[in-house]
């Protein structure tokens, strides 16, 4: 029975909208003249069509202002800068800097600084590091990964530090 009602509604909608063929229109009109169930469904469809044809109800002109006033009454979350402890950030930065310094100290401590060539009486520039063996330091993948991670973290910290300094300078708070 439900499927039949859906078919009746579909046929009546097509009739009301004028999208059915001439023969279909005549058949629906005959049903409407004789069958009370078709008449009831026809009245429901007509009522629905009239409701859909009406313009939607607009909210009051004060609606937006009421919403905005209600939002201002709510507690707004403070900016992140007001609840982040700067001492913790500095402690993390100092910790990372210490790790980088310790890693570099370890690396320089592992280098072979002995010069195996004959003593030279002339000045030897610091840029000439041919006799220093760096392979003993950087041959371990774990050390290399640790150095890379610390360098990236140190650069990130430096970037944040300089960005905060630039922001304070631009806002006038030296």
Q: Report yes or no: 14 and 42 within 8 Å, Cβ to Cβ.
A: no
Number of domains in the chain: 2
Q: Note whether residue 119 is domain-resident.
A: no
Residues of the domain holding 19: 2-53
* CB of 111 closer than 8 Å to CB of 132: yes
Q: Say if residue 104 is in the same domain as residue 142.
A: yes
Residue 69 lies inside a defined structural domain of this protein: no
Tens-digit pLDDT string for the chain (174 aa): 566 778 888 888 888 888 888 889 998 889 889 988 888 988 988 888 888 877 777 777 788 888 888 888 877 666 666 667 788 889 999 999 999 889 888 877 777 666 555 555 555 555 555 666 667 666 777 777 888 889 999 999 999 998 888 888 777 655
Write the CB contacts of 49 (distance below 8 Å, at least 6 apart in sequence): 16
Q: Do 47 and 87 share a structural domain? A: no
Instruction: Let me know if residue 64 belongs to a domain.
Output: no
| Most distant CA atoms of the chain, gap in Å | 126
Look at residues 92, 132, 88, 83 and name the one whose alpha carbon lies nearest to residue 109: 132
- Asked whether 47 and 77 are in contact (CB, 8 A), the reply is no
Are 25 and 102 in a shared domain?
A: no
């Amino acid at each position: 029975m439900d499927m039949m009602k859906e078919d009746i509604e579909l046929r009546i909608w097509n009739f009301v909208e004028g999208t059915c063929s001439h023969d279909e229109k005549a058949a629906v009109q005959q049903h409407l003249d004789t069958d009370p169930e078709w008449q009831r469904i026809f009245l429901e469809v007509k009522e629905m069509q009239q409701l859909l044809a009406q313009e939607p109800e607009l909210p009051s002109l004060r609606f937006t202002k009421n919403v905005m006033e209600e939002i201002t009454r709510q507690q707004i979350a403070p900016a992140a800068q007001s609840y982040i402890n700067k001492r913790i950030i500095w402690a993390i930065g100092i910790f990372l800097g210490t790790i980088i310094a310790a890693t570099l100290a370890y690396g320089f401590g592992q280098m072979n600084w002995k010069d195996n060539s004959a003593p030279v009486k002339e000045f030897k520039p610091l840029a000439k590091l041919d006799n220093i063996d760096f392979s003993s330091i950087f041959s371990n993948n774990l050390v290399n990964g640790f150095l890379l991670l610390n360098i990236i973290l140190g650069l990130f910290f430096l970037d944040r530090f300089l960005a905060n300094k630039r922001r304070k300078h631009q806002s006038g708070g030296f």
